[in-house]
Amino acid sequence: MAALNSRRLRAVFLGVIVAGLGVTLWLLLIGPQVSESARPTVRDEMSQPMVQRNERLVATLGSAVASLAPSTKAPPKHDQIVIDDVSVEKNEVCEGEENLVSVTAHTLDGSDSELHYVIGGQAGRAVPLRAYRLPNGEVSRRTVSVFGTGGNSLSVAVPDYRVKECRLSRSVQIGYRGRANVVDELQFRAVVLENSSGGTPFRPIRYAWTFGDGATAVTSAPYVAHDYSRRSEMEMYSAFLVEARVYSESGESVRGRTSVEFLNLPFEDLRKFGIVKIVAQGSPRFPVLSDDGVVRQTFLFWHYYPEAVNIERIRVLQVNSNGVRSEFGHLQDAPDMSGKTIDPGQRLSVDFSFDTKRNADVIALVYKVEGASVDRRLAYGEVTLMKPPPVPTRANSVPVTSTRWASKIRRAMSILGKASVSEEEVWELERDGALAPEFSPK
C-alpha cells in the first residue's frame, strides 16, 4: 500500500507540474508580441520582460518533471569541448565587490559558433560576480559551464580568490529591460548603492556607458537605451559586457557592470534549416488607427547573412476575429517588393497600409516576404498589420482594484494628456521621477 500511495503521490505531483507547464505555455502564446530575431537572456528578475521569465519557468518545470521520472539519461558528454582558460580579474576582493570572471573554450568538432557559456549561474563569456562570506566564514564557490551540441557540456570551478571581511563604501547595480515591438533594444538603468552611512553623500551628475559592442554614451540621467540589432549574428549566442561609470559632483566615480546575452534565432534558422531569416521592425511601434480608418506603418527589413538577398514575391494573408489565417488574394494596397534587394548591413524601408473600413471582418493582415540570397538560399520573413484594440472602457476591460495603482494611472493620464496609458508609459514616468512616491504601488 505504501508503494501504491507513493506512486499515486508521484502521479499527482507530475500532473500538477505538467498542468503548470501548460498554463505557462498558454501565457507565452498570448503574451506580449516579441521579435523573433533574438531575445536577450537576462539575469535579474526586476529587469526581465515577462515572456523571458515565463521561458525560465517553462525550463524549471521541465526540469522538475524530468527529475521525478526514472533516470535513464546518460551523464553529460564533454569529449568535444575544451576549456582553454578561466581567469579572474582580481586575486582578492571585499564582500559584494565585482570580480570579472572570463572563459575561453573551443570544440574538437568545429562547432565553436554554437557554444553557450554560463558563469556562476549567469550567461556570458565574461561575467562580473559578487561573493559574500557565509556565517561560518567560508565563501560559496561558483562554477563555469560550457554547453555545446549533441548534449556536450563541461564544467570547472571558478579559480579561487580571497574574499575579505570588508565592504566598499558604494557600488553600482545595472538593471535592464527590453522594449516591446523593437528588435533587440534594451533600456538600462544604473543605481548607486551606498553601503555605509558615513562620509560625504555621493550625488551623481554624469553616467558614462559602454555597451560591449564598441558603442558608448554619456548621460546626465541614470538610464539609457541601446540598440543591439546591428550586431553580427553568425553564431548562436551574442554576449556583451555593459559598464556604467558614475561621476559625482565632487569628482569621485564608481563603476558597475552586467552581462547581456542574446539568442540569435536567425543563426539557428540558417544552421538547422538553411534559411536566411528576414527581420523587420515597424514604425510607429504600435498600430495607430487614423481618422480615415487606415492603419499605416513603415517597416525596415534587413538580414544577417553575408550575401545579398533578392525579394521575389510577397503573399498576403488575412486573420479573422477567430484568429484563423487564410489567403487574402489580391490586395489593392499591397506594396510591390518584387525585385528589391537587401544588401548585407543595409535596411530596406517599405510603407504598408491596412484599410479597416474596406476589410471590416479582418483584424490583421500578414505579409509574407519570400526571396533568395545570391547563393540561392531560401529567404523568408513576415510582418503583421493589426487593427488596434478599442479604447479601454469599463465594459471591455478588467478594473484596477488597487487604489495606489489607480491613482498612479490617473496621474500618468493627466501628465500625458491621454485617455489611456500603457504600462511602459507609466514605467517611464516613474523612471523620470514624474510620478511622486505616493503613486507607487505596494
Strand duo 276-277 + 378-386: pairing: parallel
The answer on 395 and 378 residing in a single domain is no
CATH of the domain at 214: 2.60.40.10
CATH of the domain at 115: 2.60.40
The answer on 371 and 288 residing in a single domain is yes
Joined together, the cell numbers standing for residue 6 give 507513493
Residue 130 lies in a domain: yes
Q: Report how far residue 124's alpha carbon sits from residue 233's, in angstroms, rounded to the nearest whole number.
A: 15
Q: Report how far residue 356's alpha carbon sits from residue 353's, in angstroms, rounded to the nearest whole number.
A: 9
φ/ψ of 6, rounded to 5, equals -65, -40
pLDDT score of 218 more than 80:
yes
Q: Summarize pLDDT for 258-314 with one digit per residue, the tens.
A: 999 999 999 999 999 999 999 999 999 999 999 999 999 999 999 999 999 999 999
**For the range 400-407, what are the long-range contacts, defined as Cβ-Cβ under 8 Å and sequence gap of 24 or more?**
402/441, 402/442, 404/438, 404/439, 404/440, 404/441, 404/442, 405/441, 407/438, 407/439
Of 42 and 326, the one with more pLDDT: 326
The answer on 379 and 394 residing in a single domain is no
Percent of the chain surpassing pLDDT 90: 61
pLDDT score of 27 more than 50:
no
The answer on 202 and 153 residing in a single domain is no
- N-terminal to C-terminal alpha carbon distance within the chain: 49
Residue 73 lies in a domain: no
The answer on 134 and 187 residing in a single domain is no
pLDDT at 312: 95
Q: Which helix (H) or strand (E) holds 316?
A: strand 309-319
pLDDT score of 157 more than 80:
yes
Strand duo 126-130 + 98-107: pairing: antiparallel
φ/ψ of 407, rounded to 5, equals -65, -40
Per-residue confidence band for 77, with pLDDT thresholds at 50, 70 and 90: low
Cα 104–Cα 242–Cα 122 angle in degrees, nearest 5: 55
Of 135, 166, 197, the one marking the end of a domain is 166
Residue 74 lies in a domain: no
Residue 408 lies in a domain: yes
Q: What is the DSSP letter of 90?
A: -
Cis peptide before 40 (omega within 30 of 0): no
pLDDT score of 64 more than 60:
no
Most confident of 7-16, 92-101, 194-203: 92-101
pLDDT score of 56 more than 70:
no
The answer on 254 and 191 residing in a single domain is yes
The answer on 141 and 93 residing in a single domain is yes
Residue 110 lies in a domain: yes
pLDDT at 433: 80
pLDDT at 75: 57
Q: How far is CA 193 from the centre of its chain?
A: 25
| Helix, strand or coil, per DSSP, at residue 52 | helix
Helix 50-68, helix 2-30: angle, nearest 10: 160
* 423, burial (CB in 10 Å: exposed 0-12, middle 13-18, buried 19+): exposed
Averaged pLDDT, 77-90: 90
The answer on 239 and 195 residing in a single domain is yes
The answer on 303 and 373 residing in a single domain is yes
Q: Summarize pLDDT for 425-441 with one digit per residue, the tens.
A: 888 888 888 886 544 43
Domain count along the chain: 5
* DSSP β-bridge partners for residue 105: 83
Q: Report how far residue 315's alpha carbon sits from residue 377's, in angstroms, rounded to the nearest whole number.
A: 19
The answer on 249 and 283 residing in a single domain is no
Of 236, 263, 290, the one marking the end of a domain is 263
Which structural domain, as residue segments, surrounds residue 423?
390-442
Residue 189 lies in a domain: yes
Residue 440 lies in a domain: yes
Residue 282 lies in a domain: yes
Q: Summarize pLDDT for 299-321 with one digit per residue, the tens.
A: 999 999 999 999 999 999 999 98
pLDDT score of 62 more than 90:
no
The answer on 400 and 375 residing in a single domain is no
Joined together, the cell numbers standing for residue 227 give 540598440
pLDDT at 213: 97
Joined together, the cell numbers standing for residue 105 give 573554450
* Cell 497600409, residue located: 353
The answer on 212 and 117 residing in a single domain is no
CA R_g for the chain:
25
CB 231 within 8 A of CB 211: no
Of 166, 199, 215, the one marking the end of a domain is 166
